[in-house]
């Protein structure tokens, strides 16, 4: 393979990764707040500072402790074509969702991303077979499998995944608090600065250390399920 061909492949992989991380990706992420809507209703989030605190805390105590290390294991399983490990970690993540809303969210987004990738014809047969074998495919499983199939390194892929999560949270805060676009960028700058440490923590966790201990998030999500007026599905 020539240097020029390698460079082109890297450019295509980067463009694909940016597309996966884009808030314009049609998987329905815009319709979920992951309990942020209830936090605003309860007065826990009321301005840019408290919105930033909420998002940073959820990243630190939930996403980094569970979703991120599971994502890494899904990526590794897809790379190794290990269907048993892939199914195990997908089931683990779906079961770890604290509420019906959060479970429905990840499965809906996972199925939507799989359908989008199938329509574009961008995955090899082995990756399509892994995803098709899942009864309830999670969003991390679909995202990680695509990143693996495209030869993207796990750290780069997980960075994009976490940034995409943070950006969707910031966009939800803009609508709910409400905030201006500059305030949302301030929140993203804060979260971006925390990503290197978050990635290191995710990579360092052993299998038996994975799990979320975010009682406040779980309670907020439960309360959101019966919230009187809602803009978001979670």
Binning pLDDT at 50, 70 and 90, where does residue 12 land? confident
Read off the pLDDT band of 4 (50, 70, 90): low
Question: What are the structure tokens assigned to 20, written together?
Answer: 């996966």
pLDDT score at 2: 59
What is the CA angle 32-37-41, rounded to 5?
165
Q: 92 CB contacts (<8 Å, ≥6 apart)? A: 70, 210
| Confidence at residue 209, expressed as pLDDT on a 0 to 100 scale | 97
What pTM value is reported for the model? 0.96
CA-nearest of 143, 145, 107 to 125 is: 145
- Which residues contact residue 149 at a Cβ distance below 8 angstroms, ignoring those fewer than 6 apart? 78, 122, 123, 124, 127
The per-residue pLDDT for 221 is 95
- The pLDDT > 70 percentage for the chain reads 97
Tens-digit pLDDT profile for residues 130-155: 999 999 999 999 999 999 999 999 99
Residue 80 CA to residue 207 CA, distance in Å, equals: 18
pLDDT tens, position by position, 68-123: 999 999 999 999 999 999 999 999 999 999 999 999 999 999 999 999 999 989 89
Mean pLDDT of 181-198: 97
Q: Is 64 exposed, middle or buried (0-12, 13-18, 19+ CB in 10 A)?
A: buried
Q: CB–CB of 162/20 below 8 Å?
A: no
161 pLDDT more than 80: yes
């Amino acid at each position: 393979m020539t240097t020029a061909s390698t460079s082109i492949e890297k450019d295509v992989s980067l463009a694909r990764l940016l597309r996966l991380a884009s808030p314009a990706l049609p998987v329905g992420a815009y319709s979920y707040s992951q309990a942020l809507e209830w936090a605003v209703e309860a007065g826990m989030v009321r301005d840019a500072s408290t919105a930033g605190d909420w998002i940073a805390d959820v990243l630190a105590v939930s996403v980094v402790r569970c979703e991120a290390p599971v994502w890494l294991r899904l990526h590794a399983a897809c790379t190794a074509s290990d269907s048993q490990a892939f199914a195990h970690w997908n089931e683990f993540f779906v079961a770890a969702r604290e509420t019906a809303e959060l479970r429905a969210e990840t499965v809906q987004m996972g199925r939507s991303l799989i359908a989008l990738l199938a329509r574009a014809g961008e995955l090899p047969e082995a990756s399509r077979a892994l995803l098709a074998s899942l009864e309830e495919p999670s969003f991390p499983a679909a995202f990680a499998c695509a990143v693996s199939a495209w030869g993207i390194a796990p750290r780069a892929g997980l960075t994009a995944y976490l940034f995409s999560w943070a950006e969707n949270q910031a966009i939800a805060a803009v609508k709910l608090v409400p905030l201006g676009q500059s305030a949302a960028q301030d929140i993203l700058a804060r979260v971006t600065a925390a990503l290197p440490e978050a990635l290191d923590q995710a990579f360092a966790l052993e299998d038996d250390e994975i799990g979320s201990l975010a009682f406040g998030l779980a309670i907020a999500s439960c309360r959101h399920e019966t919230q009187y007026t809602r803009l978001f599905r979670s």
